[in-house]
Amino acid sequence: MSEFKILEIKQAVFEKNDRQADQLRIDLKNEGIFLLNLMSSPGSGKTTTLTRTINLLKNELKIGVMEADIDSDVDAITIAKTGAKVIQLHTGGMCHLDAGMTKQGLAGLGVNELDLVILENVGNLVCPAEFDTGSSKNAMILSVPEGDDKPLKYPLMFQICDVLLINKIDVLSVFDFDIELCKARVLKLNPNIKIIPISARTGEGIPEFCDWVKEEVKNWKGVSHE
Amino acid sequence: MSEFKILEIKQAVFEKNDRQADQLRIDLKNEGIFLLNLMSSPGSGKTTTLTRTINLLKNELKIGVMEADIDSDVDAITIAKTGAKVIQLHTGGMCHLDAGMTKQGLAGLGVNELDLVILENVGNLVCPAEFDTGSSKNAMILSVPEGDDKPLKYPLMFQICDVLLINKIDVLSVFDFDIELCKARVLKLNPNIKIIPISARTGEGIPEFCDWVKEEVKNWKGVSHE
């Protein structure tokens, strides 16, 4: 039913990654394509958040999605139902994507005429933070059940992201999660990060995230292209 | 208040890992020390589960705990309150522990006269599955909010574990988590794994996990040592 490719990608040479990432960013900028790298722990709600986001944005932006997973294609099947262009990337056991793998993914997806490509990275709070994918901006999700202490334990991820979505706020009442304490811990690591509480299940907060995405895409493409 | 050391550990040479792990396992067997490697995503409840487990077992077994984290010592502070011997291992950004790092941790902890050492690995469903730590047995936690599709997406972790704790069953009613479907997916990957539903918050299921641990420690030490 759903139409998407599955691509087996290989790890790029590690030491070249930063250079490749910078070059990829330049290329994407020249093509007017905004690449958002979305990261989180397993099960934080990346795919549900993306589904909501795409449904709100798809009339305004041409969107492609790269679903990275070690195995399976369950997320690509879900995203394909939104009508967005989607490709499943299999990382062959790798715990993250680097710039070379991202470039292979973009080539496999086909980005002509897309405004926005979202990379759903491998579910992992550690390794994806260490590898620049060449993305225009980095986004992350922390979900309420994971706990408000995660900024203390995985600081790099919070430091390298431009926006943090605190997801599953619809279940705040059944978990010991102090959202103000969590925000304070995050802002201490990264004073410039934008924090948006959301519920991917109910849709709360998704419009605010979509506004952020639209503004970033507009800035990336530049006023002269509008 | 709490007394524990913080040790900065270095990555062992990758290719020697399997050999080092086998040797460590032999050494621990000869010393009558059972090493349990506990893995999960960030925020699945490893530390709360350990606290409950130690409190139930500490009159029967001499227990040590190695808390591995990229940064912070919040988990070691929590565990120290149980009275167990504890050390915080800082991995210096590494996303997993290998056998050499585990050996450094054991030396730092001091294992003389301990029956059971529990390694709380870095919160990560990917990389820790790929590195044999030299443990006697591997345990993992999957929590209900993470979703019942995780065995499809992170199969290796489920394949290499001897016991799976499905945690946070006290909040099953507020999440779309099919526990029977999850079990079936896990058993398809690993027919020999023992699956125990628990709630680290309420204590449900912890006695069954403790029974499993006691039996494994007894088998490891061998009947002749009793």
Q: Give me the residue label for tokens 């050391």.
A: B5
Q: So what's the pLDDT on residue B10?
A: 44
Residue ranges of the domains in chain A? 11-219
* Cα–Cα distance measured from residue A50 to residue A82, given in angstroms and rounded to the nearest whole number: 10
CB contact (8 A) between residue A72 and residue B123: no
- This prediction's pTM: 0.91
Q: So what's the pLDDT on residue B222?
A: 87
Q: So what's the pLDDT on residue A3?
A: 58
* Cα–Cα distance measured from residue A71 to residue B153, given in angstroms and rounded to the nearest whole number: 5
Q: So what's the pLDDT on residue A10?
A: 44
Q: Which fold has domain B11-219?
A: Rossmann fold (3.40.50)
| Binding-face residues of A in 90-149 toward B, CB within 8 A | 93, 95, 122-127, 130, 143, 145-147, 149
End-to-end CA distance of chain B: 36
Task: Identify the segments of chain B with pLDDT beneath 70.
Answer: 1-15, 223-226
Residues of chain A contacting B172 with CB distance shorter than 8 Å: none
* Cα–Cα distance measured from residue A25 to residue A37, given in angstroms and rounded to the nearest whole number: 12
Torsion of CA B140, B145, B147, B153, to 10 degrees: -50
Which one-letter amino acid corresponds to residue A97?
A: L
pLDDT in tens, chain A (226 residues): 445 665 554 444 456 799 999 999 999 999 999 999 999 999 999 999 999 999 999 999 999 999 998 888 889 999 999 999 999 998 877 888 999 999 999 999 999 999 999 999 999 999 999 999 999 999 999 999 999 999 999 999 999 999 999 999 999 999 999 999 999 999 999 999 999 999 999 999 999 999 999 999 999 998 544 4
CB contact (8 A) between residue B127 and residue A171: no
User: How far apart are the CA of A72 and the nearest CA of chain B, in angstroms?
Assistant: 6
